[in-house]
Structure 1
Amino acid sequence: MSVDMSDTPIQATLSLTERDGLPDALRSLIKAYPRNGWEQNANYSQLIAFWLDRHLMFRRLLDQLDTDVKAALDGNEAQDGYKRKLSRFGGMLINQLHGHHQIEDAQYFPVMTRLDTSVARGFDILDADHHSLDGILSDLANTANAVLQYQGKQPGFVDTAAAMKGRLDRFRPLLNRHLVDEEELVVPVLLKYDPPQFR
C-alpha cells in the first residue's frame, strides 16, 4: 500500500476503521527490524517485553470474553456466572486499555516522535486510533452494562448476550489492527534508538 503522507487526512484512508495496515511510508523501520528478529536484537529490553505482554493480555482478555459469551449463548453458563465473568474480564479489558493508551499518549509517543521524524506521522495515526477506541470502548461498556443489569428470563438474556457477542465481534478486528500497527512502529523505534529514558 503506497500513500502520499502529506495529503492524506488521518480520518480518511488511514482511520482505524478503514485501513488494512500502515502505509509503506511508515514501514521502513519494520522492514529493517522484522518481527521475527526482535527478541534476538541486543536492544530488546524489559520494557519492550513488558509492553508486548500487555498487548498479549488484551488479546487474551478478548478471547476469554468471547469464550464466556459463547458459553452463555449456548446455555452452558448460567446468567449469574456469566455476569460475574463479564464484570471481571470486561472491566479489566476496558480499564487496562484506557490506562495503557493514556501512558502511551502522554509519555511514550512524544519521545518516539522526536527520535525518528520519518515515522512521526505514524504516532499521529496511533493517537487518532486511541480516540476512536475510546468511543468504541464506551459502546462496549454500555452493552456489557445492559447484560449485567438484566434481571429477566432466559430469552431476553440471550438477546442481551447476543448483543454483547456482536459488539465483541466488531471490536476485535479494530483492536487487533491497532495493536499490530502499534507494535510495528514502536518496537523498531526502540530497537534502533534504544532511548535511555526507556531502559
Structure 2
Amino acid sequence: MTDALEDRTGLPDALKVLLAQHPREGWRAHPEFGPLTQFWLERHLGFRRVLDALQGDLRARIGGDLDPREHGRRLSRLGGILLNELHGHHSIEDHVYFPKMIPLAPGLERGFEILDADHHRLHEELDAFAEAANAVLRDAADGAPRMAEGLERMARFLDRHLTDEEDLVVPVILKVGEGRLG
C-alpha cells in the first residue's frame, strides 16, 4: 500500500497503534476529550459539509434546477470559505499542532509526514478548484462538468485525509491530553 493520498485506503497498521487503544466509539467519553478536540472535529465536519453543498449546488446547476447567477453567488461564498478555511486549518496544523504532537507520539512520525504530504496534495486540488470555479463564474461552456469532476476527486481525497488525520491525531490527544498542546 502506498502512502499517497490518491492511493490510500487508510493509514498503515503500524500507525494505528493508538487508535487500537482509543477506538472512535470511545472518543467522546474519554476524560481527555475536551473542547480543543471537539472544535477540531467540528472543523473537519464543516469542511465535509461545505464540499457536499458545493457538489449539490453544482449538480443542481447542471440539471437546470439552480439559476446560474444564484449558483455563482453561492459558489463564490462557499468556495471562498473552503479555500480560506482549509488553508488556515492546514497552516495551524503544520506549524503549531503537528510539531507539538510529534515528540509526544514516538513511533508515529511517519503518520505526520503522510498528513503533511496530504496537505500539499490537497492544496494542489484547491488550486484546481479555484481555477474551475473561476471558469464556472465566467460561464465557460465546459466549466461546470470539469468542476464536478474536480469536486468529486477533492471530496474523496479530503475525506480520506480527514479520516486518517482523525485516526492519528485524536488518539494522540487522548493519550497525552489537550493541556500538552496548548
Same fold (TM over 0.5): yes
Kept in 1, the 8 Å contact 2:37–2:178? The answer is no
Matched with 2:132 is: 143
Paired residue type of 1:23: P
- 2:6 and 2:66 map into 1 onto residues whose CA distance is 33
Structure number with greater Rg is 1
State the partner residue of 1:170: 153
1:142-166 C-alpha deviation (Å, 9 max, x unpaired): 000111122x7xxx2xx32111111
TM-score, normalised to structure 1, is 0.88
Query: 1:94-148: per-residue Cα shift (whole Å, max 9, x none)?
Result: 1110000000000000111000111111001100111111111101110001111
What are the within-5 Å matches in structure 2 for residues 116-195 of structure 1?
A: 116-150=105-139, 156=141, 159-195=142-178
Q: Distance in 2 between matches of 1:24 and 1:18?
A: 15
SS of match in other structure, 1:118: coil
Contact 2:18 2:171 (8 Å CA) reproduced: yes
Matching residue of 2:28: 39
Please give the root-mean-square deviation of Cα atoms over the aligned residues, in Å: 1.2
CA distance in 2, matches of 1:79, 1:136: 23
Match of 2:61 among 59, 72, 75: 72
Mapped partners of 2:25, 2:63: distance in 1:
39
- Note the residue ranges of structure 1 that are not aligned, 5 or more in a row: 2-12
Distance (Å, rounded) in 1 between the aligned partners of 2:36 and 2:181:
7
Counterpart amino acid of residue 161 in structure 2: H
**Distance in 1 (alpha carbons) for counterparts of 2:178 and 2:82:** 29
Which runs of 5 or more residues in structure 2 are unaligned?
Answer: none
2:11 aligns with 22
Structure 2 equivalent of residue 6 of structure 1: none
Q: Render the CA deviation track for 1:57-88: whole Å, top value 9, x for unaligned.
A: 00000110011001101101111011001011
Whether contact under 8 Å (2:133, 2:147) holds in the other structure is yes
Distance 2:129 2:155 in 1: 11
Please, which of 48, 52, 56 is the counterpart of residue 45 of structure 2? 56
TM-score using structure 2 length: 0.96
Q: Which amino acid aligns with 1:175?
A: L
Identity rate, percent: 49
Structure possessing the higher relative contact order (Cα contacts under 8 Å, 6 or more residues apart): 2
Q: 1:195 to 1:54 in 2, by over 3 A?
A: closer
Residue 197 of structure 1: how far off its partner (Å) = 4.2
Instruction: Read off the aligned partner of 2:155 and give its amino acid letter.
Output: R
**Distance between the aligned counterparts of 1:116 and 1:197, measured in 2?**
12
